[in-house]
Amino acid sequence: MTEKVAEKVTVNDEKVAEKVIETEQKVTEKVIEKHQKVIEKLIEKAAQQGDRLTENRISILRLMMDDPYISKAELSKYVGISENSISRNIEVMRGKYLRRVGPDKGGFWEIIEE
């Protein structure tokens, strides 16, 4: 009798695990889709304002959407440009496409979608 209960529990655990994985995949797809739409809106907004979002700036924005608490050092590592270049790109985009919320340490980046 105990073996049958253990077997049912194992089967149920497997079903739950499959459902969790399936749900995580759907959520990830939706997040990626939403981020892509935001990037497209920002590129359109830049074009309307006579600006141009370079590949580096788009990469910075994507990384900030994925992790609003990302540091300039991490951005530099992922984008493949110096921290000074990251800072210059951020300054160009600050106020138009992104803003810093909170202090330098402990604050986070917010993408301006409007």
4-56 pLDDT, tens digit per residue, is 777 777 878 888 888 889 999 999 899 889 988 989 999 998 988 888 899 99
Q: What is the pLDDT of residue 15?
A: 82
> Which of 17-21, 93-97, 99-103 is predicted with the least confidence, judged by mean pLDDT?
17-21
Structural domain count of the chain: 1
Q: Where are the beta strands (DSSP E) in 20-71?
A: none
Question: Mean pLDDT across the stretch 82-97?
Answer: 95
CA–CA distances in Å: residue 26 to residues 20, 21, 46, 111, 112: 10, 9, 30, 23, 25
Phi/psi region, residue 31 (left: phi>0; alpha: psi -120 to 50; beta: rest), is: alpha
Burial 34-65 (b: 16+ CB within 10 A, else e): eeeebbeebbebbeeeebebeebbbbbbbbbb
Give residue 1's pLDDT band: very low, low, confident or very high (50, 70, 90): low
> What global pTM score does this model have?
0.76
CATH of the domain at 53: 1.10.10.10
> 17: domain range?
2-111
